[in-house]
Amino acid sequence: MEFERASGLIMHPTSLPGRFGIGDLGKAAYRFADFLGDAEQSLWQVMPLGPTGYGDSPYQALSSFAGNPLLISLEQMQIHGMLPKEAIEAPPQFPDSRVNYGAVIGYKIPILKQAFRFFREHGSRELKLDFEKFCERYGWWLDDFALYMALKESHGGAPWFEWEWKLASRNPDALDKARKSLRDEVETHKFIQFVFFRQWYFLKSYLHQKGIRVIGDIPIYVAYDSCDAWTHPEILKLDEHLRPTVVAGVPPDLYSETGQLWGNPVYRWDVLAETGYKWWIDRFKMALELVDIVRLDHFRGFEAYWEVPAGEPTAVNGRWVKGPGRDFFEAVFGKLGDIPIIVEDLGFMTPEVDALRDEFRLPGMKVLQFAFGGDPGNAYLPHNYVRNCVVYTSTHDSDTARGWFEETASQEARDHLLRYIGCANPAEIHWEMIRLAWRSVAVMALAQTQDVLGLDNSGRMNVPGSLGGNWSWRMLPGALNEALAARLAEMTELYGRVPGTELHY
């Protein structure tokens, strides 16, 4: 797909301010949309919107299709008659700058369950009809997900592969019995999903009115403890006991002597191919109901992926295995048309990966922090870009722009950057990197909101391979203001990234 020259910001909804301990789809999200509009931005990139499990990572969701209940705005529910006012009058004193997931879950989930009971007794006829329509429309994944969540709760949060065998292996009689005994719990989880999707679609409609499109991630792998793995074990490399035989990761490189052991089960691509990749096509369909542009994570894994025998302590003893390649993308585009996809093609690339990306005209990623300290032929330097790429000042997996420059970049890289941009004063290096991205030929330019705010690495979202403290950064109330919007708008106009700008290539 040919994209229009544009720019935008990265901000996961959990990072928005608010009084309930975590960002949500309420008024702060609409204020952020207003800021994007005032700043002439036309893109909002988010991370996966699915329900998170152990570790709180959006990339290890409990479902590839469901929404995250923690993103639901309790205030919006109260406004729309789904909660009594007193239910949210006195929330705990949550921290403003970080998400304490344990505390948020302990407070919010019981209120969402209370909301279902309130809805069942006091909900309007129109709202109940909408709920029925939602359940009917999305029953193809919702029925399994709601049962999975009800069973997970009834087992004290244990992963599905630790349940009794009849439930873990989806014995039909055992599932029927569970549906009957857990009927109220199943309906509760369906209702929670109804509220999430309702709020998200309202927000997405508001964004579209402002000419703003949403970019959202599809992680290549699913979590082992997920409804996806429980309902579709046949598409994963699991043994007769439903345990992974191999797991995903990446091999050792300059950044890690032992590689990265992700632990996700690996696909049986031959089984998926026999179905015409139906599960993946359904996944794309659902993603494109939520977002306007898909960012496909770990693109190189579709050409060849690193699999490690289950039980290995590191990713060292793995091997490269050929992925589905062009057959997969021909099937996806053949079924869905020329859908809007950008790809995460960072890390160890090969000519075969580049050829696969270019054959289907998929824009790849350029991260400015990878550009400096080397030779002029570095592919991440803006003078080497092709138009069909997306440039980032930083990503959720990297330092912030300022944090990189001040804390982790080598002296050689810092000197190179300053010479490259002709800047002797690094006091606002984050704005200089935004300018460098915005004025490049890349069709899309994106900055983390932390970079617009000039935050150091205290604003970093994730440190790959580390446990604890990730995914928790929150923007303080009032951090974005008219002056920042005006500065970003001026730069966006200057470099022709306002939608509708006539360009001649």
Span 159-188, average pLDDT: 98
Q: Taking a C-beta distance cutoff of 8 angstroms, is the pair 472, 415 a contact?
A: no
Question: pLDDT at residue 467 above 90?
Answer: no
The radius of gyration of the chain's CA atoms, rounded to the nearest angstrom, is: 23
Question: pLDDT at residue 505 above 60?
Answer: no
Question: pLDDT at residue 405 above 80?
Answer: yes
Q: What is the pLDDT of residues 87-122, one digit of tens each?
A: 999 999 999 999 999 999 999 999 999 999 999 999
Span 153-161, average pLDDT: 98
- Residue 214's H or E segment, with its range, is strand 213-218
**Residue 464: which pLDDT band, with cuts at 50, 70 and 90?**
confident
Q: What is the pLDDT of residues 19-37, one digit of tens each?
A: 999 999 999 999 999 999 9
Q: What is the pLDDT of residues 354-368, one digit of tens each?
A: 999 999 999 999 999
In sequence order, which ranges of 123-220 are alpha helices (DSSP H)? 125-137, 139-154, 165-168, 172-181, 183-209
In sequence order, which ranges of 388-428 are alpha helices (DSSP H)? 401-403, 411-421
Instruction: Tell me which amino acid residue 29 is.
Output: A
What pLDDT was estimated at residue 255? 72
Rounded to whole angstroms, the Cα distance separating 362 from 345 reads 10
To the nearest whole number, what is the mean pLDDT of the chain?
A: 96
Give yes or no: 297 in active site: yes
Q: What is the pLDDT of residues 260-274, one digit of tens each?
A: 999 999 999 999 999
Six-digit token string for 19: 């009084």
> Residue 332 class from Cβ within 10 Å (0-12 exposed, 13-18 middle, 19+ buried)?
buried
Name the catalytic one among 282, 354, 397, 406. 397
* pTM reported for the whole predicted model: 0.97
Helix (H, G, I), strand (E, B) or coil at 308: strand
Instruction: Tell me which amino acid residue 240 is.
Output: E
Name the catalytic one among 344, 399, 432, 451. 344
**Residue 283: which pLDDT band, with cuts at 50, 70 and 90?**
very high
Give yes or no: 228 in active site: no
283-290 own/partner pairs: CB under 8 Å, 24+ apart = 283/64, 283/65, 283/218, 284/218, 284/332, 284/336, 284/339, 285/336, 286/64, 286/65, 286/141, 287/216, 287/218, 288/336, 288/339, 288/340, 290/49, 290/67, 290/200, 290/204, 290/214, 290/216
**Residue 1: which pLDDT band, with cuts at 50, 70 and 90?**
confident
Phi, psi at 348, each rounded to 5°:
-75, 105
**Residue 392: which pLDDT band, with cuts at 50, 70 and 90?**
very high
Q: What is the pLDDT of residues 302-340, one digit of tens each?
A: 999 999 999 999 999 999 999 999 999 999 999 999 999
Name the catalytic one among 297, 312, 354, 456. 297
What pLDDT was estimated at residue 153? 98
Residue 18, by phi and psi: left (phi above 0), alpha (psi -120 to 50) or beta?
left
Rounded to whole angstroms, the Cα distance separating 94 from 230 reads 34
Six-digit token string for 196: 């999430």
Rounded to whole angstroms, the Cα distance separating 22 from 362 reads 34
Six-digit token string for 368: 């400015």
Question: pLDDT at residue 504 above 60?
Answer: no
Give yes or no: 2 in active site: no
Helix (H, G, I), strand (E, B) or coil at 448: strand
Span 73-78, average pLDDT: 97
Question: pLDDT at residue 42 above 70?
Answer: yes
Rounded to whole angstroms, the Cα distance separating 138 from 456 reads 42
**Residue 256: which pLDDT band, with cuts at 50, 70 and 90?**
confident
Distances, alpha carbon 164 to alpha carbons 158, 174, 385, in Å: 11, 10, 54
> Residue 497 class from Cβ within 10 Å (0-12 exposed, 13-18 middle, 19+ buried)?
buried
- What sign results for the dihedral spanned by CA atoms 290, 291, 292, 297? negative
10 has which bridge partners? 45, 448
